[in-house]
A and B are shown apart, each in its own frame.
Chain A
Amino acid sequence: MKKKVILDKKAVDRTITRITHEILEKNEGSNGLGLIGIRTRGVYLANRIQDKIKNVEGISLPFGALDITLYRDDISKLKWPEVKKTEISFDVNNMTVILVDDVLHTGRTIRAAIDAIMDLGRPKKIQLAVLVDRGERELPIHPDYAGIVCPVNENEEVLVRMSEIDGKEEVVIVKT
């Protein structure tokens, strides 16, 4: 299996820093913002963004982890995916929710995540932040913040590895 590193550890950190500043710029600060990461790696990314905003603004944003399994549109074709917990400790009503995921591809995960959040309340806005936008959308969904735009072929896979669970930190393209 061939692999090509498109972001190394330092570049991942720099990219997250940039996304963080873009979020703060677009929303004119951190007022009314809440972060929700999509399990699994979106949660770690959202965590990093939370830390960085704390460094800049001095406040710790409300934070949540979302499991979208129950909202998937292909659930009947899956071999019983494990359902993990959704843990969102803040009230999403009237908040600007920053939804965070590692890779944006077809847009179906994001569709499911938006539905899941809507069932929890009525946020004022939902914005989407992703580390990698690999293109090939199947739904009309567009990120508000994209770390890196990187179109890849159908037989290639973009993998985000994060030190919390993968032991190392990088974004790679592998041929499948």
Chain B
Amino acid sequence: MNWKRKDLLDIRDLSNEEILFILDTAESFKDISKREIKKVPTLRGKTVITLFYESSTRTRTSFEIAAKRLSADTINISSSTSSATKGESLKDTARNLESMRPDAIVIRHSMPGAPHMLAGILDSSIINGGDGSHEHPTQALLDLYTIREKKGRTDGLSIVIVGDIAHSRVARSNIFSLKSFGNDVICCGPPTMIPPYIETLGVRVEYDLQKAVRKADVIMMLRIQKERGGTKYIPSTKEYSTLYGLTKKHVAMAADDVIIMHPGPMNRGIEIMDDVADGPSSVILDQVENGVAVRMAILYLLIGGEA
């Protein structure tokens, strides 16, 4: 297929064909990370800026490694050490960065739509690295890649997403991709964390974790987001952990070949117990490994060819 996009802003606007094209491209890139020389010259001379207004370990490192393995130069900017602390607006920061002629800017911002605003005013390719509680498209793509790798397909699976659905951009992006491929998606969590009308996205809601995980092919755990006030919606983390923390008992109720996913960082002992996180069904570290390949594919597709 012919890739025509300048930016990667959300899963919702990608067609299934585009999503599969990204995953197929990522497969070719996965091998590069396993070689002794983990670098190809493809994006030589290109510059990628990561502009992060929220903290991140995985996403930023993953993008940086992806860019470096393709021979692009990378520059990291965190809001805490940038002129944002001096009161510069996002628009001004972005316009100034654009004057230094980067080819792509990966942005993470607490404001939903921030990447879309930049995409409208800049010529550089904009990649959404997470915008508030709106979307985190590269996470959904690496999750789908991992599901396809482990299950051999992207459709017809029973998938449970557990946790703070209301404030999770990971949940939203995953719901869009998993539903558009025709999976059965169940959202599970305390009623305060399940947004009203979520069923309009085609998902089912189940408040009881034991019922939700029954025969599940994939269980996707979400983090209690303390920085987004996540703990305000539950009486205590102890109670949350008792009702919604994933234990071995839950894993045993799911399908025999269930996979357990978590976007990280994990709150061990709260939403997921140690023996599950480190157990044989866990694919949490595969997700991280696949993240690099998926982000290499995205960078390649967005800035590799002629605009």
Contact = CB atoms under 8 A, between A and B. Distances in A.
Nearest to A88: B31
A56 interface: no
B3 interface: yes
Interface residues of B, number: 21
Interface in B1-46: 2-3, 25, 27-29, 31-32, 35-37, 39-42
Interface in B57-103: 70
Nearest to B302: A80
A119 B306 contact: no
A75 B39 CA distance: 16
A69 B25 CA distance: 12
Contacts of A84: 28
A3 interface: no
B300 interface: yes
Contact of A79 (B2, B35, B70): B2
Interface in A62-119: 67, 69-71, 75-86, 115-116, 119
Contacts, number: 50
B269 interface: no
A151 interface: no
A84 B35 CA distance: 17
A119 B37 contact: yes
B162 interface: no
Given A77-B306, A119-B37, A86 B31 contact: yes
A120 interface: yes
A32 interface: no
Contacts of B39: 119
A38 B67 CA distance: 26
B178 interface: no
B305 A83 contact: no
A176 B304 CA distance: 28
B48 interface: no
A119 B40 contact: yes
7 contacts: A77-B305, A79-B2, A80-B304, A81-B305, A83-B28, A119-B37, A119-B39
Given A71-B41, A79-B305, A81-B305, 8 more contacts: A70-B32, A70-B70, A71-B40, A76-B306, A77-B305, A80-B301, A86-B31, A120-B37
